[in-house]
Amino acid sequence: MTSDEWTKLLRDESDRCLQFKGRVGVNVSGGDGSAVTWARCLEWYGPDRVLPVFADTNSEHPDLYRFLDDCEKKFGQTLTRLNDGRNIWDVFDKSGMIKIAKAGGACKASIELKQKPLAKFAKEHEVDAIAVGIEFMELERIMRFKKKMNSEVLFPLTVRPRLSECEIHDEVRSLGLTPPSVYSEGQPHNNCRAYGCILAGVSQWAADVTLNPEGFDYSAEREEVFNEKTGFAVCRDRTGGTTKPYPLKQLKEDVLNGKTFNHEWKSQCACMEPQPTLFSADECFGDLE
């Protein structure tokens, strides 16, 4: 994409947000970006046209719920919270899979606990568009959304002032909110942090040995049972020119024995993104289970 094409895309997406006239469902993830998105939608459209919704994986950091409660009080709206009682490992165990190869390695739990419930909510409440907190620099994600969804999707963070990641955290503070605590640990997002995001890399899991010991141990126990059934492990050991499963219990033992990692906490997390290889864009707003 050329700079001119990039500029045009941002301008077009910004104009769509500012000219939008219908009802919008705001997909709230529990992170700072979606909180700013929620605030902008309220400013532009008013509370009568804004329906905030959160899909709970029951695998979230406790402070995420504090942040959602604070947002409700600050914004004066009640957040619809979707919850079927399962956590991510319950989904993995029942389905017999963690990542879905035909969907580009997408997390099975995010499909079942986030994407499908959010799509069903949008259909049932007859919203005219959904708003998501994708940053203006994430053009590839914006284009994926536009390609995969036949419904209207708004990207409020493309509107000026266009904020960097650090500026988004500052904006949350300016709204009178305290950002989720995971950001102070250097975490890139606030999804599934109770038990660890299964699309995180080895370095982030290694950090959780000390940053989130209870959550790490829970996932390690559930992974051991899952591994006995399927042979699959969350992490991979790519040393020596080969790739093999790297169980979390082994990773913890290595960390406690002094093995170090680079702590470049990169993640493939795309929990809020639709996966058309599993259900089409039409089905997202049609009859889902």
Q: Which fold has domain 3-184+272-284?
A: Rossmann fold (3.40.50)
User: Could you give the CA distance from residue 30 to residue 38 in angstroms, rounded to a whole number?
Assistant: 11
Average pLDDT in the 138-162 region?
88
Closest of 199, 207, 272, 194 to residue 33, by C-alpha: 272
| Residue 150 banded pLDDT, cuts 50, 70, 90 | low
Closest of 106, 87, 50, 60 to residue 273, by C-alpha: 106
Helix (H) or strand (E) holding 237: strand 235-237
pLDDT score of 185: 80
| Residue 233 banded pLDDT, cuts 50, 70, 90 | very high
User: Could you give the CA distance from residue 130 to residue 113 in angstroms, rounded to a whole number?
Assistant: 17
Average pLDDT in the 139-165 region?
88
How long, in residues, is the chain?
289
User: Could you give the CA distance from residue 215 to residue 194 in angstroms, rounded to a whole number?
Assistant: 5
Average pLDDT in the 167-175 region?
96
Q: Decide if pLDDT at 276 tops 60.
A: no
User: Could you give the CA distance from residue 214 to residue 170 in angstroms, rounded to a whole number?
Assistant: 30
Under 8 Å CB-to-CB from 264, ≥6 apart: which residues? 201, 203
User: Could you give the CA distance from residue 118 to residue 110 in angstroms, rounded to a whole number?
Assistant: 11
Mean residue pLDDT across the chain: 87
| Residue 183 banded pLDDT, cuts 50, 70, 90 | confident
DSSP tag of 47: G
Burial 105-127 (b: 16+ CB within 10 A, else e): ebbbbbbbbbbbbbbbbbbeeeb
pLDDT score of 283: 33
User: Could you give the CA distance from residue 28 to residue 132 in angstroms, rounded to a whole number?
Assistant: 7
Q: Which two three-digit tokens encode residue 22?
A: 């219908």
pLDDT tens sequence across 235-275 = 998 888 888 999 999 999 999 999 988 766 555 444 444 44
pLDDT score of 258: 93
Domain with CATH 3.40.50.620 in the chain: 3-184+272-284
Q: pTM for the complete prediction? A: 0.87
Closest of 18, 23, 80 to residue 52, by C-alpha: 80
Rg of the chain on CA atoms, in Å: 19
pLDDT tens sequence across 29-58 = 999 999 999 999 999 999 999 999 999 999
